[in-house]
Structure 1
């Protein structure tokens, strides 16, 4: 069975608030989280979660903050997703990167998504948040490339 880290108790309610505010068109500035929506792998119902995409060499990527996250399993099963920034939506193909391709993306994660560093420290995935530590998460934390669908 794949590794699974339990998210903090407050994450699900906080995500719901963020999703509703985003759907109302509110902007959050900074690293600009978006709402990623995929079909549930069992129910088929739409499931949404906030993610913070980053751009590397002109391509967009998202990193799963918790090994075993449900949204990752749903994205793998669905292959397609909708990314919403406020009221603007875009269909994307979720392309999971193998560990060797994920390493350089994870290496730049702490610089591009600084809010994710504290999140992953609290989860116990990294201690310092250095590029080397993040690169070492390849194979543990899933990285998806978001290709236009």
Structure 2
């Protein structure tokens, strides 16, 4: 039986994100995680969230598992962002992919970001952690291509 997709992040995620942000700022890298900072669409203030970019065919991408998440809405409103790991900062542009181009990127996710797979399963985006399931779940997420700015 398929789960109904969760449209908003779980409440505990905000606390975990704060912890990850603090560790990253101290220079303690955590797997594939980076800090993505995008200006708030309403406040104009920088907003930071942990993300796990992945590379497919030489291009980098980041996936928004919760299409209604704040960072996704901010990135849609203003694609200019900063991607950081420790002290290394990179100015980037986020370009949203149309739904028909998301499949191959999602298919690569379980291999490229294995620690992120459980979140997609728990959220009901995929039923099981296979590349085929992730490709089927592409319509339920937002995928941004990362470009140099």
Report deviation, 1:67: 2.4
How far, CA to CA, are the matches of 1:99 and 1:67 in structure 2?
12
How far, CA to CA, are the matches of 1:59 and 1:87 in structure 2?
23
Contact 2:125 / 2:140 at 8 angstroms: preserved in 1?
Answer: no
Q: Which one of the candidate residues 4, 18, 21 is aligned to 2:20?
A: 18
Matched residue of 2:44: which SS?
A: coil
Please name the residue that 1:69 is paired with. Answer: 69
Report deviation, 1:69: 1.1
Give 4+ residue runs of structure 1 displaced > 2 Å after superposition. none
TM-score w.r.t. the length of structure 2 is 0.92
Please name the residue that 1:126 is paired with. Answer: 126
TM-score w.r.t. the length of structure 1 is 0.92
Please name the residue that 1:9 is paired with. Answer: 11
Report deviation, 1:137: 2.1
Any stretches of 5+ residues in structure 1 without a counterpart?
none
Report deviation, 1:4: 6.3
Aligned residues: 145
Any stretches of 5+ residues in structure 2 without a counterpart?
none
Please name the residue that 1:56 is paired with. Answer: 56
